[in-house]
Amino acid sequence: MTERPEVTAYIGLGANLGDRVQAVRSAVEQLGAVPSVRLLQASSLYRSAPVDAGGPDYINAVVEIATTLTAPALLAALQAIEQAAGRERPYVNAPRTLDLDLLLYGGARIDSPRLTLPHPRMWERAFVLLPLHEIAPGLVPRKALTAVVAGQGIARL
């Protein structure tokens, strides 16, 4: 049996409960330890106001990985890391100890009940676009970045 080719994927990380900085840093380390995942690079940390949600400010980052996992298998690994960090989902956009979003998985376009790729709201969120632009500037058009960041509170730590 031949191994699947590696795919480049981007993951958004965020936390707004507990030790937010430690939660995001720990999640980056845990991502690098997932079998069949290689951590390529991580953005700086950013502080952002919640979007369509309440609670304290978020700490956010984006990582680039190479993986031989399928997109659904990668999503399952992300959700396992969230669960280990105490993630609860009492209601939509509830404050969270850790949130890991699969943003892009190669050039895949998926629209299923469990997974939509590219992430459906990533182009509307400064806390995704700014760190993504930092590590992969060619993926984020300057016009999109300027328009979104201007309307949302975000600061690089």
Q: What is the C-alpha to C-alpha distance for residues 139 and 152, in angstroms, rounded to an integer?
A: 20
| Catalytic residue check, 101 | yes
| Catalytic residue check, 125 | no
Domain annotation covers residue 122? yes
Domain annotation covers residue 1? no
Question: Which of 25, 38, 57, 101 does the annotation list as catalytic?
Answer: 101
Selected residue with higher pLDDT from 147 and 65: 65
| 8 Å CB contact between 66 and 8 | yes
Could you tell me the CATH number of the domain that includes residue 12?
3.30.70.560
Domain annotation covers residue 51? yes
| 8 Å CB contact between 115 and 75 | yes
Task: State how many domains the chain has.
Answer: 1
Q: What is the C-alpha to C-alpha distance for residues 7 and 27, in angstroms, rounded to an integer?
A: 20
Domain annotation covers residue 90? yes
pLDDT of residue 150: 81
| Catalytic residue check, 57 | no
Q: Which domain holds residue 91?
A: 7-156
The answer on pLDDT for 138 being more than 60 is yes
Question: Which of 20, 47, 87, 125 does the annotation list as catalytic?
Answer: 87
| pTM, two decimal places | 0.93
Rounded to the nearest integer, the mean pLDDT of the chain is: 91
Domain annotation covers residue 98? yes
